[in-house]
Amino acid sequence: MANDEDVALLKQGVAAWNKRRRQQGMEAFFDVMANRNPDLHVWEGPMDLSLANLIGADLRGANLSGTNLFITDLTGANLIGADLSGAHLGKADLSMANLRGANLREMDLSGVDLSMANLNGAQLLGTNLCDVTLTGSRVYGVSVWGIKVNEGTRQQNLIITDHDEPVITVDDIGVAQFIYLLLNYQAIRKVIDTITAKAVLILGRFSEDQKPVLDALRNELRKHDYLPMMFDFDPTTNQTISETVKTLAGMSRFVIADITDARSVPQELQIIDTHCRTVAVRLIKKRGEPEYGMLDFRNSPWFVKGRYEYENAEELITSIKENIIGPAEAKVKELRKGNS
């Protein structure tokens, strides 16, 4: 338990604590084993707790914002609701720690041991989890957005259910919340079923002349009870194009690609041809307009044979059922039959 001197020193503030750390050296021992200390709620400014032994410490609701916790041993510590934003946790040991509801936004947790920790309800927004060990941790209700992981991130056997529910584990914290929702909420499953049954990806050149045609196509698809998705990307963000196209095409019933002078479409179609070989693709083109690039994959079995050429948006919409939807749906059935 924390001795009276430690508590008194904490009450004096950051300067006094850091002064003693400098006097005693980096190996100074600060032991708050399982001791509930209300003064932890009113720390002002960053503390230096590097190398401290805080095993089993009761730090519920503590404001540890900006605190230096480098190589600090927080094994089994109770950090429920603690604010660790801006804290330096390099190589800290938080195994079996209770971090339920903790604020870990935009923190660099690289190298931290969070094995078997309780992260239920924690906020992991923009958090760096590179080389972090999460194995066996509880992640029910965790908020995960924009995290960074690498090959060194160990995330096996993550428990996505609450303590009073049957244990279900996954090996990817990024999909943990999605899997839980998918398992427990019928509305979510219905949305997924709707997307895969009705989604249609539209690719093309979104120029001033061509975008109205694609907009008209999208509006007409809605009238036929489809869920159209249009991918209009910034050419300067090529690094994310492949994953985005694979994701959108993979969840689509079929793809409509307008190859009218579309410089980017061959690249997008190549991605689909390589990675999404169960998705039907219907090529269309404005009559008399140039076709950019080589389309050697037009004979691929998942592409509708030939292409439909239209004069204008009105003709395209008028014949959409006969020349676009009909052939695309026929190819969908053909592909699904072949994979059954």
Instruction: Give 138-168 pLDDT, tens digit per residue.
Output: 999 998 989 999 999 999 999 998 888 888 8
Burial bucket for residue 261 (CB in 10 Å: 0-12, 13-18, 19+): middle
Report the predicted TM-score, pTM, of the whole model to 2 decimal places: 0.57
| Better-predicted residue by pLDDT, 157 or 180 | 157
C-beta separation of 259 from 291 below 8 A = yes
Least confident of 135-149, 237-251, 318-332: 237-251
C-beta separation of 302 from 280 below 8 A = yes
Cβ-based neighbours of 279, under 8 Å, separated by 6 or more: 249, 250, 252, 254, 255, 272, 302, 335
| Better-predicted residue by pLDDT, 247 or 285 | 285
Structure confidence at residue 248 (pLDDT): 85
Coil/strand/helix, residue 52: coil
Asked if the model's pLDDT at residue 254 lies above 90, the reply is yes
User: 46: closest CA among 106, 7, 87?
Assistant: 87
Tens of pLDDT, residue by residue over 88-103, are: 998 999 999 999 988 8
Residue range 52-60: average pLDDT? Answer: 80
C-alpha–C-alpha distance, residues 272 and 110, integer Å: 35
Which range has the top average pLDDT, 110-119, 192-201, 289-298? 110-119
Residue range 98-125: average pLDDT? Answer: 92
CA distances from 317 to 215, 219, 323 (A): 11, 9, 10
| Beta-bridge partner residues of 108 | 128
Asked if the model's pLDDT at residue 135 lies above 80, the reply is yes
Residue range 102-117: average pLDDT? Answer: 93
What is the identity of the amino acid at 70? F
Structure confidence at residue 168 (pLDDT): 85
| Better-predicted residue by pLDDT, 51 or 194 | 51
Asked if the model's pLDDT at residue 120 lies above 90, the reply is yes
C-alpha–C-alpha distance, residues 200 and 170, integer Å: 30
- Among residues of the chain, what percentage have pLDDT more than 90? 34
Residue range 267-284: average pLDDT? Answer: 85
Asked if the model's pLDDT at residue 264 lies above 90, the reply is no
Q: Grade residue 23 by pLDDT with cuts at 50, 70 and 90.
A: low
Asked if the model's pLDDT at residue 203 lies above 50, the reply is yes
Structure confidence at residue 295 (pLDDT): 58
Asked if the model's pLDDT at residue 42 lies above 80, the reply is no
Which range has the top average pLDDT, 48-52, 65-69, 72-76, 185-189? 72-76
